[in-house]
Amino acid sequence: MKKIIFEQVGNIGMVFLLAVALAQTVSSSTTGNILFGSCWFFFLVWTILFGLLKWLYSKFGKKEGYDFMDGEFSSRDEREKVVSNRAVTFAYKATITLLLVECLVFAGLDIDSSYLKIIGIFFLSGSIIFGFLAYMLSWIFYNLKI
């Protein structure tokens, strides 16, 4: 369970920082002049740190079955594979439902075109974070159930 929480917290942090950095660039850039704000630095630091922690965890957390490349799909045995399969199915359904709801909400919103890109970035990154959260929570649920 620890490996899934570790992986998803890292993933959520990475997507959040990427969204903030993208929003910063979009809001401050003009045509032909792309600006990279300080948030990109935090995103890079987080990515490198998370990658390093993942590598260390895969080296010293082998007993838990954590694999660097498999990430949140790492499994110690066949039961955990079943748990991952069920969690991924749940997360997929939940994320698709959320995206459909977001499409309807987005279509109904009267947004100023200057904010459209930023809101789009947060809608999309929010959906990805929601997917990560749905996977993590359903993994914990199925792990206790099965």
Partner 1 sequence: MDIINQVKKYRKSYNLTQESLAQAVGVSRRTIISLEKGSYTPSLLLAFQLADFLEVDINELFYLDKELGEKHEKNNF
Least distance CB 80 / partner 1 (angstroms): 7
Which residue, 130 or 142, has its beta carbon nearer to partner 1? 142
How far is 123 from 142, CA to CA, in rounded Å? 28
Which residue, 63 or 113, has its beta carbon nearer to partner 1? 63
Token digits of residue 21 = 């950095």
Least distance CB 104 / partner 1 (angstroms): 36
Residue 30 has what DSSP assignment?
Answer: B
Which residue, 77 or 112, has its beta carbon nearer to partner 1? 77
Q: Is 64 helix (H, G, I), strand (E, B) or coil?
A: helix
Q: ∠ CA(76), CA(80), CA(82), 5° rounding?
A: 145
In the complex, the residues that contact partner 1 under the rule CB under 8 A are: 65, 76-80, 82, 143, 145-146
Answer whether 91's CB lies under 8 Å from 140's CB: no
**How far are the Cα atoms of 62, 63, 70, 99, 113 from residue 139, in angstroms, in the given order?**
19, 19, 15, 21, 39
Which residue, 24 or 74, has its beta carbon nearer to partner 1? 74
Least distance CB 82 / partner 1 (angstroms): 7
Least distance CB 79 / partner 1 (angstroms): 4
Least distance CB 48 / partner 1 (angstroms): 32
Which residue, 57 or 132, has its beta carbon nearer to partner 1? 57
Answer whether 73's CB lies under 8 Å from 136's CB: no
